[in-house]
Structure 1
Amino acid sequence: MKQFMKRLAGFSLGPILGAAISLILFPIFTNALPIAEYGRAGTFETLILQIPNFIYIGMDQAFTREYNHMDNKRNLMQQAMLLPLMLGVFLVAVSAIFSVPFSEWLFQSGDYYYIVWYAGVWVLATIVERFILLSIRMQEKAVEFSSYSLLLKVGNFIVSMGMIFAGVRDFRAIVYGLIFGQILADLVLFFRYRELLDLRGFQIDSKLIKKMFLFGTPIMIASSLAAALNSIDIIVLTEFSSLTDIGIYKAGSKIGSIIGILKTAFASFWIPTAYRWYEENKSMKHYKFISDIVLFLLSGLFFVILVLRYPISLILSSDGEYLDVQYIMGLLAFPHIMYTLSETTTLGIVFSRKTHYNIFVSIMSLAVSVIINLSLTPFIGFRGAALASTAAYVVFYLARTYFSSRTGFYFGQKKQIITMLIMITAGLINLYPLDYSIFITIGLGLLALVVQIPTIKTALEIKNHPGEWDFT
């Protein structure tokens, strides 16, 4: 268990420190920018971060699936990158042609067409970055992976703060930080791993590409639907609500992403570890304990966020513009919890190569999100979008778990379901001003702790009888 935790800590270091940088930037932005400007940046940021999920066309997941079966890792990476890069170049060309209308929709002005061009360069850099970081991750080079994950945040911080000090007080401070901060960090990454980008001797391996494409196609469809799921709330808010609502929702998402930090750290470590455990025929009790301990930690953090929601909202701005953020913090943390937890229950889908199940998962989740967003968001704004996001990711978790169970990978979900219902109740109670909500929230948090007492007992059992468990 000690070795397991050591590797997890290594993979977590970069995301956690990077999140600390983001948390420093967050109140700087909310205090320096009017909420409407934060909303304009929020729409752009949400949508551009989803674009790579369409462009990878599942080849990134196929790359990790084949990694342990191929001797020439560089050739494997280059073959996997080829189709996404071709698609990326096509997207850049299209965005350049239609840059003015894109700018008008995103920023309510066609004058910022050049930002669409910059975004195209960002997309191409992100594709290459993705595969290099996957290569590092699959080698389980925890500290190195964390270092470059941190470097990306440092680049964002330097450019964003440079814009603030230069007197920029609109959405460009965030947008330029995102685009140029990441590109600067990527240049360092590309130079460090330039041998992986050495194309001498490269020849297209159509059989390998076809094999990876067939594996990745269902994932591509599922990832595209998942990207739509992650964007639909902002799209509906943009169409039917105000920039203020978008600003509040985006600020709430940033708070919720505190848990997203752990999601990123855990997923980076867990995927290669789970694949290796599968090859080593680890018993199901190991997977179950990891799921239980993830639930224990994330549910605890969820209730901490809810209890501290008011002081957190006060930090965001001195004039109280962002006070309404407190009402959706809990609900916007929930998608990160459900996604992270589902990473421990969905393994049967990838182990069995039945990746088409992911399409059903994404369709079900997206349908729930669209229905609730269109029903509620035009009327209750950011609250409706938050409810839609929570409901969609509950379905996402349940569907992933169900389809994985059909492959034979399954462990009991009673504890997870009960704790999930308690957390949803707490999120709903905090959605509007309510007398004594803080005391009710604390009571629900204690109830969730009681439900998870068996997890604590198992942890003690592992400590006292380590020979019966193998987490290497």
Structure 2
Amino acid sequence: MTPKKIAAFAIGPISGALLGLISLPTITWFFSQEDVGRMAMLQVTIGFSTLLFSLGLDQAYVREFHEVTDKPSLLKRALLPGLILLTTTLLVLLMFGGTLANWLFEIPEWHLSLLASTALLAAFLSRFLSLVLRMNEQGLAYSMSQLLPKLLLLAVIGTYVVIGAEKSLTNLVIANAAALAFVCIVFAYNTRREWLASMTASLDFQHLKHMLRFGLPLILGGIAFWGLTAIDKMFLRTLASFEELGLYSVAVSFAAAATILQSVFSTIWAPTVYKWASKGEGLENVHKVSRYILALVVLAFCLAGLLSWVVTFVLPPKYDAVRWIVVSCLGFPLLYTLSETTVVGIGISKRTGFAMLAAISGFAINLVGNWLLIPHFGAAGAAVSTCISFWVFFVLRTEFSIYLWKSMPRLLLYSFTLVCVSGAAVFTLWGDSLKGLMAAYWVLLLCASGFAFKDEVRDLFAFLKNFKFDDVRHGS
């Protein structure tokens, strides 16, 4: 992938994360902590429905894309089964009035159920349409489709503030549902050739069965991964309160700045590594890439530990604990990104059951961790439990990939990530009373990583020194 295409794919995640850091303080200042927590439940449900109803066919689409010639037909086979199931399920739920809203928000209002259904359907469609742009390497269109909903959400929230609109849950759900619907429309416009062609394409049931054999094991794994990332919020709602859930969701949102790395890398990495596999070349670069990502992961943990106090300047006083919680919340995006570099053997071998086993194991650990920690530490306990479970998830994905494919050096991978996760856990639970010691810890770790990754740092400086912006403009 050329520098020009990489830059195009990077615009969306980077700009989206920056806009998120602007809109988030606005929401916390003008909406109640309970409603912020309720919105977290909507996000959890969106993630669950997208994973469940995709039937693993989104992953099958990515895996098969470079191996088939009829791309519109492939899209139809991937999208149609889940779309029918999701639409039917939502229609049935809406027949029961405010049941869906009661499950999500403990407010049984039919209009909230309708808004939530709109958000769920739009998010599902956007998932598949975004894959079309991603696999066709249409980076700018992909980035704009990610950026525009954040702009719309910010515009709607800003309008509420200017006109003095009621700071209600309904208005907050409207803003989020409108943003998701808008991005779906933009995706549909940008991929109109593919999905219009897919409407008249034949539906090859034999190939669909082949895709389902690849994707169905991912349903269980997908649910387990959803649990790995969302069970903390479910436990907070059950064992704590919507206020604690709101505090935690704000910390997670700040940590989502790390999804810049996750989004950019995952968008570029999956198509690239599968293209290498289809041609039988380039796979020797996997270890080199993992070292670069590891260096970035350690750097992100250290900087977050040293600079987390900055968030207190943009949040109301009741969110002061976010400064300690946010570091452990980095575990999900950072360790997941790192695992994407080491898990390629599972994808190449098509042994997706091992991916499911890693997710289930991490989910089980997160269940136990949340059950033990949340009653004593609240949102901080949820953050630590999720961070630890993602470290286990990363280790298992790496070991399974090595078992199925080929060996790779991993002492540096495991040791540095373990030190980061351990430091993050102590920082989150007891950082308020260990401020000086924790600052020294992060500084020492930063220095140690600088020495361990001196070759990567040298390569980076050499690249920046020789980089020419003309290369980006011309895609050379």
What's the TM-score once normalised by structure 2's chain length?
0.91
- How far the C-alpha of 1:465 sits from its partner, in A, is 12
Q: Match of 1:422?
A: 419
Q: Match of 1:363?
A: 360
Overall identity of the aligned pairs, in %: 23
* Correspondent of 1:386 among 383, 386, 411: 383
Q: Is the 8 A contact 1:293 1:455 kept in 2?
A: yes
CA distance in 2, matches of 1:461, 1:21: 31
Q: Match of 1:403?
A: 400
Residue 236 (str. 1) matches residue 239 (str. 2):
no
CA distance in 1, matches of 2:256, 2:76: 32
- How far the C-alpha of 1:190 sits from its partner, in A, is 1.6
* Correspondent of 2:343 among 331, 337, 346: 346
Q: Is the 8 A contact 2:346 2:404 kept in 1?
A: yes
Q: Is the 8 A contact 1:41 1:175 kept in 2?
A: yes
- How far the C-alpha of 1:372 sits from its partner, in A, is 0.8
The one-character-per-residue Cα deviations of 1:64-111 (angstroms, maximum 9, x if unpaired) are 11111211111110121111111111221232134524323432322x
Q: Is the 8 A contact 2:76 2:203 kept in 1?
A: no
* Partner AA of 1:314 in structure 2: F
CA distance in 1, matches of 2:190, 2:435: 56
Q: Match of 2:472?
A: none
- How far the C-alpha of 1:16 sits from its partner, in A, is 0.7
Q: Match of 1:298?
A: 297
Residue 270 (str. 1) matches residue 269 (str. 2):
yes
Equivalent residues in 2 for 1:174-253 (5 A)? 174-198=172-196, 201-253=200-252
* Corresponding residue SS for 2:318: coil
Residue 48 (str. 1) matches residue 46 (str. 2):
yes
Higher deviation after alignment, 69-78 or 44-53: 44-53
The one-character-per-residue Cα deviations of 1:151-189 (angstroms, maximum 9, x if unpaired) are 232233333333343423233444222211120232233
* Partner AA of 2:365 in structure 1: V
Q: Is the 8 A contact 2:336 2:390 kept in 1?
A: yes
Q: Is the 8 A contact 1:103 1:109 kept in 2?
A: yes
* Corresponding residue SS for 1:78: helix
Instruction: Specify whether residues 230 and 209 from structure 1 end up closer, same or farther in structure 2 by C-alpha distance, changes over 3 A only.
Output: same
Instruction: Specify whether residues 231 and 342 from structure 1 end up closer, same or farther in structure 2 by C-alpha distance, changes over 3 A only.
Output: same
Q: Match of 2:454?
A: 453
* Partner AA of 1:53 in structure 2: L
Q: Is the 8 A contact 1:341 1:397 kept in 2?
A: yes
Instruction: Specify whether residues 164 and 74 from structure 1 end up closer, same or farther in structure 2 by C-alpha distance, changes over 3 A only.
Output: farther
- How far the C-alpha of 1:347 sits from its partner, in A, is 0.6
Instruction: Specify whether residues 57 and 164 from structure 1 end up closer, same or farther in structure 2 by C-alpha distance, changes over 3 A only.
Output: farther
Q: Is the 8 A contact 1:95 1:117 kept in 2?
A: no
CA distance in 1, matches of 2:95, 2:445: 53
Equivalent residues in 2 for 1:270-349 (5 A)? 270-317=269-316, 320-349=317-346
Higher deviation after alignment, 51-60 or 150-159: 150-159
CA distance in 1, matches of 2:360, 2:338: 19
Instruction: Specify whether residues 356 and 439 from structure 1 end up closer, same or farther in structure 2 by C-alpha distance, changes over 3 A only.
Output: same
- How far the C-alpha of 1:274 sits from its partner, in A, is 0.9
- How far the C-alpha of 1:195 sits from its partner, in A, is 2.6
CA distance in 2, matches of 1:277, 1:283: 5
Q: CA RMSD, aligned part only?
A: 2.3
* Partner AA of 1:373 in structure 2: N
CA distance in 2, matches of 1:154, 1:62: 32
* Correspondent of 2:21 among 13, 20, 23: 23
CA distance in 2, matches of 1:395, 1:62: 26
CA distance in 2, matches of 1:462, 1:161: 41
Q: Is the 8 A contact 2:31 2:168 kept in 1?
A: yes
- How far the C-alpha of 1:200 sits from its partner, in A, is 5.2
The one-character-per-residue Cα deviations of 1:221-240 (angstroms, maximum 9, x if unpaired) are 21121112222111110011
Higher deviation after alignment, 73-82 or 152-161: 152-161
CA distance in 1, matches of 2:208, 2:181: 28
* Corresponding residue SS for 2:352: coil
What's the TM-score once normalised by structure 1's chain length?
0.92
CA distance in 1, matches of 2:3, 2:291: 15
Q: 4+ residue runs of structure 1 moved beyond 6 angstroms?
A: 460-466
Instruction: Specify whether residues 214 and 163 from structure 1 end up closer, same or farther in structure 2 by C-alpha distance, changes over 3 A only.
Output: farther
Unaligned runs of at least 5 residues, structure 2? 468-475
CA distance in 2, matches of 1:296, 1:170: 43
* Correspondent of 2:35 among 33, 37, 40: 37
Q: Is the 8 A contact 2:44 2:230 kept in 1?
A: yes
Equivalent residues in 2 for 1:432-447 (5 A)? 432=430, 433=432, 434-436=434-436, 437-447=438-448
- How far the C-alpha of 1:301 sits from its partner, in A, is 2.2
CA distance in 2, matches of 1:173, 1:21: 20
Q: Is the 8 A contact 1:129 1:189 kept in 2?
A: yes
Instruction: Specify whether residues 276 and 368 from structure 1 end up closer, same or farther in structure 2 by C-alpha distance, changes over 3 A only.
Output: same
Q: Is the 8 A contact 1:8 1:266 kept in 2?
A: no
The one-character-per-residue Cα deviations of 1:3-22 (angstroms, maximum 9, x if unpaired) are 65443322111111111111
Q: Match of 2:470?
A: none
* Corresponding residue SS for 1:203: coil
- How far the C-alpha of 1:462 sits from its partner, in A, is 8.2
Q: Is the 8 A contact 1:33 1:170 kept in 2?
A: yes
* Correspondent of 2:91 among 93, 97, 100: 93
- How far the C-alpha of 1:459 sits from its partner, in A, is 5.3
CA distance in 2, matches of 1:309, 1:193: 40
Q: Match of 1:120?
A: 117
Q: Is the 8 A contact 2:325 2:380 kept in 1?
A: yes
- How far the C-alpha of 1:215 sits from its partner, in A, is 0.8
CA distance in 2, matches of 1:89, 1:181: 20
**Count of matched residue positions in the alignment of Structure 1 and Structure 2:** 462
The one-character-per-residue Cα deviations of 1:198-225 (angstroms, maximum 9, x if unpaired) are 2553332111111111111112221121
Q: Match of 1:82?
A: 80
CA distance in 2, matches of 1:99, 1:237: 26
* Corresponding residue SS for 1:356: helix
CA distance in 1, matches of 2:186, 2:466: 45
CA distance in 1, matches of 2:435, 2:123: 47
Q: Is the 8 A contact 1:164 1:173 kept in 2?
A: no
CA distance in 2, matches of 1:46, 1:123: 11
CA distance in 2, matches of 1:116, 1:183: 15
